[in-house]
Amino acid sequence: MGIGEDQTISFGNGEAEWGLKRYSGAGATQTAMTKANLLEDGLMLTHEVAIKARFQSSIISWYLINGRAYPWRQTTDAYKILIAEILLRLTGAWKAQSVYERIIGKYGTPELLASASVHEITDILRPLGLWNRSNTLINIGKQLSSTFGGSVPRTYSELVGIKGIGQYTANAILCLAYKERVPMVDMSVSRIFQRCLGFTTNKPAYADKELWSLALDWLPETNYREYNLGLLDLGALVCKYIRQSCVDCPVASCCQSRYRVTTHAKE
């Protein structure tokens, strides 16, 4: 059966078979779920609502037990979260941690960062490589100091107006620092949606509007911080690019690719 064809997915422990169609490109987000009604706890729920709720609660429950603890996850300080997100680009979190602590220890405010020299920041970033991040960090410090009074702005339009901040970083700040209900979609989250929901794409996550729309559609009304972080950790620890571990996966029961990923999701 190919992508885009109807396929019935057995979800849960076999009590019910829920008709779930693959997400298959343009327009699929609106039509992917069949709308048959399901009687559950005396309430009529649509298939889509029930499956989404199960998917969301599975991710959140898994995260609360298995989520990774990092210093930038123990704070709601927008500046610290911003620094962490810049350092985490194309970098493993374990590698970024000591660099993050040195940057925050020495340049704990945007003003201090703005006054740093490229040489000083590059020296701290040396274990990570990617030297151009020195300029990115200093320029962000300068923009925060000169335009926002040394604070990290609270609106999406202001955040993405800062050179060096894109949609993912802006949403990470809005969700993790300012507790706004917005999705966080990187390559690993895209991979989970492709494998689990059958979403198809040839675009990188940052450029895929349909993917972001799907992610918003599947975002829970509450506990969205834990859900967003849970998806990121699931992509890093379980639904990895290679050697995914379906046997350990909290959403295996609704995954369209479980135990049979033969081709890698588009990264």
Q: Which residues bind ligand SF4 (CB under 6 A)?
A: 192, 195-196, 238-239, 244-246, 249, 251-252, 255, 257-258, 261
- Compare residues 33 and 196 and give the one whose CB is closer to ligand SF4: 196
Contact assessment for residue 252 and residue 258, using Cβ atoms and an 8 Å cutoff: yes
Instruction: Kindly tell me the sign of the dihedral angle through the C-alpha atoms of 235, 239, 240, 245.
Output: positive
Residue with tokens 């799907």: 214
Distance of closest approach, residue 258 Cβ to ligand SF4, in angstroms: 4
Distance of closest approach, residue 233 Cβ to ligand SF4, in angstroms: 12
Helical H segments across 76-202, by residue range: 78-88, 93-106, 110-114, 118-125, 132-148, 156-160, 167-176, 187-197
- Compare residues 81 and 231 and give the one whose CB is closer to ligand SF4: 231
- Compare residues 88 and 249 and give the one whose CB is closer to ligand SF4: 249
How far is the C-alpha of 91 from the C-alpha of 194, rounded, in Å?
Answer: 23
Helical H segments across 67-109, by residue range: 78-88, 93-106
- Compare residues 162 and 249 and give the one whose CB is closer to ligand SF4: 249
How far is the C-alpha of 233 from the C-alpha of 18, rounded, in Å?
Answer: 27
| End-to-end alpha carbon distance in the chain | 23
Distance of closest approach, residue 99 Cβ to ligand SF4, in angstroms: 30
Distance of closest approach, residue 256 Cβ to ligand SF4, in angstroms: 8
Distance of closest approach, residue 163 Cβ to ligand SF4, in angstroms: 35
Q: How long is the chain?
A: 267
- Compare residues 209 and 243 and give the one whose CB is closer to ligand SF4: 243
